[in-house]
């Protein structure tokens, strides 16, 4: 006897009465042999479920051996999982809610069904974001944005994959969309991950220009303390130096560096030293700034990382202010080359501004403004306008 073919995504097929219905759905969604123990975890009245399935149209396809059970049937669920994370068009074409419209009075089964539906949706979004990121890496930014815009219009968000979508929007230099997506799912994110999401939301809001809400959230995170509180201080300091409060930025940088030393946290140490260097240059102390930024590059070497183009650009600006234009130009050109290889317009803008400081050539300032606009970095765009007036 040939097997049965049943569609389960986006619809509910004809089913026996409960708990037979639950057993059919489970065996279709989880093809292959399933132990009695596994099935009883989802369907406690398994014997009754088996009886109902045997008496239904699925009976001839139910196979039993050594306390294990399977349906000799194919469902679209298996085909969906074969395409998921690999083929976006096919995954999108096959997607539908698992056993759409079905609800069970069996708590154990309903919990499983809801979790399984989330996994199916998560796979859909994982495939979409994976394809969008690949397009972005190929330089096809418009196509990548069109893909995720279409997915957002067609499918509901799922918290875990929504954070991946937010990361994509950040890479695509769309901070307002990054903030929008995180905000939409923030309350549904598990508590242990919510703090990081709040920090990312604040960073996105800052870059998009929604500064009042961002700063309020950063202060709240700082008050809560811990590692995230320190990082919140770094973000607030980065905004402060661009807003003209270099003294506050320097204080927050020094607090963050002390925390980094205590925790032996290289990433935090680099961020703190970057902020310290930028603040010191703004305060007219470029020699100290160069030393701080040189220390940041030293930590890069210890960690086996390539130099950050932003650190190189900040170091170039410090050398220009210190009176070493040739060294500044060399560093800025290196920073720009690295920023270009990473497709990072913010880093490119910082490098171009350092080139302007080193050479006095107005063309570099104009290029810096264009790259800042491409980066969607509202505070830096505003700061560039202010700096050009001085």
More confident residue, 387 or 109: 109
Tell me whether residue 122 is exposed, middle or buried, using C-beta atoms within 10 angstroms of its C-beta: 0 to 12, 13 to 18, 19 or more. middle
- What is the per-residue pLDDT for 171? 93
- Dihedral sign of CA atoms 59, 64, 67, 69 in order: negative
Mean pLDDT of 339-359: 96
Whether the predicted pLDDT of 216 surpasses 80? yes
Mean pLDDT of 200-212: 96
* Proportion of the chain above pLDDT 90, given as a percent: 96
CA dist., res. 26 & res. 109, Å (int): 9
Which residues face 73 on adjacent strands? 4
Residues 6+ apart with CB under 8 A from 11: 96, 99, 100, 101
Helices 226-242, 211-224: axis angle to 10 degrees equals: 140
Contact at 8 Å (CB) between 322 and 287? yes
> What's the pLDDT tens digit per position in 176-199?
999 999 999 999 999 999 999 999
Residues 6+ apart with CB under 8 A from 244: 386
> What's the pLDDT tens digit per position in 217-244?
999 999 999 999 999 999 999 999 999 9
| pTM of the shown model | 0.87
- What is the per-residue pLDDT for 160? 87
Contact at 8 Å (CB) between 84 and 126? yes
- What is the per-residue pLDDT for 215? 98
> What's the pLDDT tens digit per position in 118-156?
999 999 999 999 999 999 999 899 999 999 999 999 999
- What is the per-residue pLDDT for 323? 97
CA dist., res. 99 & res. 90, Å (int): 19
> What's the pLDDT tens digit per position in 325-340?
999 999 999 999 999 9
Whether the predicted pLDDT of 390 surpasses 80? no
Helices (H), 15-74: 20-29, 36-42, 46-54
Question: Please, which pLDDT band fits residue 97 given cuts at 50, 70 and 90?
Answer: very high
Mean pLDDT of 202-208: 96
- What is the per-residue pLDDT for 388? 82
* Proportion of the chain above pLDDT 70, given as a percent: 99
Contact at 8 Å (CB) between 379 and 206? yes
> What's the pLDDT tens digit per position in 45-95?
999 999 999 999 999 999 999 999 999 998 999 999 999 999 999 999 999
Mean pLDDT of 347-367: 97
Whether the predicted pLDDT of 40 surpasses 90? yes
- What is the per-residue pLDDT for 2? 64
The count of other CB atoms within 10 Å of the CB of residue 182 is: 27
E strands, the chain, are 4-6, 34-35, 62-65, 68-71, 73-75
Which residues face 6 on adjacent strands? 75
Mean pLDDT of 357-381: 95
CA dist., res. 136 & res. 164, Å (int): 14
The count of other CB atoms within 10 Å of the CB of residue 113 is: 22
Sorted by where each begins, the domain ranges of the chain are 4-104, 225-305, 323-390
For Cα atoms 176, 179, 183, give the angle at the middle one, nearest 5 degrees.
140
Q: What is the mean pLDDT of the chain?
A: 96
- What is the per-residue pLDDT for 389? 79
Whether the predicted pLDDT of 1 surpasses 60? no
Whether the predicted pLDDT of 246 surpasses 80? yes
Residues 6+ apart with CB under 8 A from 148: 128, 129, 132, 165, 168, 169
**Quick check: bond before 19 cis, omega within 30?**
yes
Whether the predicted pLDDT of 356 surpasses 80? yes
């Amino acid at each position: 006897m040939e097997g049965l073919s049943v569609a389960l995504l986006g619809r509910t097929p004809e089913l026996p009465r409960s708990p037979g219905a639950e057993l059919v759905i489970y065996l279709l969604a989880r093809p292959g042999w399933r132990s009695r123990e596994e099935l009883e975890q989802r369907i406690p009245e398994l014997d009754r479920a088996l009886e109902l399935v045997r008496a239904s149209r699925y009976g001839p396809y139910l196979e039993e051996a050594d306390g294990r059970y399977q349906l000799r049937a194919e469902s679209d669920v298996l085909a969906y999982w074969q395409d998921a994370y690999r083929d976006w068009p096919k995954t999108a074409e096959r997607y539908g809610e698992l056993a759409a419209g079905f609800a069970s009075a069996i708590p154990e089964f309903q919990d499983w069904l809801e979790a399984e539906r989330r996994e199916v949706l998560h796979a859909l979004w994982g495939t979409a974001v994976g394809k969008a990121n690949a397009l972005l890496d190929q330089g096809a930014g418009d196509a990548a944005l069109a893909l995720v815009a279409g997915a957002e219009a067609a499918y509901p968000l799922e918290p875990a994959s929504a954070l991946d979508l937010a990361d994509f929007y950040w890479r695509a230099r769309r901070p307002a969309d990054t903030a929008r997506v995180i905000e939409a799912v923030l309350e549904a994110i598990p508590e242990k991950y919510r703090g990081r999401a709040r920090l990312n939301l604040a960073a996105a809001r800052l870059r998009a220009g929604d500064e009042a809400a961002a700063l309020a959230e950063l202060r709240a995170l700082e008050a809560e303390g811990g590692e995230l509180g320190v990082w919140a201080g770094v973000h607030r300091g980065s905004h402060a130096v661009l807003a003209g409060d270099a003294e506050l930025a320097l204080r927050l940088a020094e607090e963050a560096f002390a925390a980094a030393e205590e925790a032996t946290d290289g990433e935090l140490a680099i961020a703190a030293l970057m902020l310290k260097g930028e603040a010191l240059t703004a305060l007219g102390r470029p020699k100290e700034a160069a030393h701080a930024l040189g220390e940041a590059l030293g930590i890069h070497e210890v960690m086996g990382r390539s130099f950050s183009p932003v650190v190189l650009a900040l170091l170039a600006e410090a050398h220009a202010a210190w009176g070493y234009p040739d060294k500044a130009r060399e560093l800025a050109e290196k920073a720009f080359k690295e920023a270009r290889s990473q497709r990072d317009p913010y880093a490119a803008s910082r490098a171009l501004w350092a080139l302007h400081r080193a050479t006095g050539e107005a063309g570099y300032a104009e290029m810096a403004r264009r790259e800042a606009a491409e980066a969607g970095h509202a505070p830096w765009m505003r700061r560039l306008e202010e700096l050009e007036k001085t």
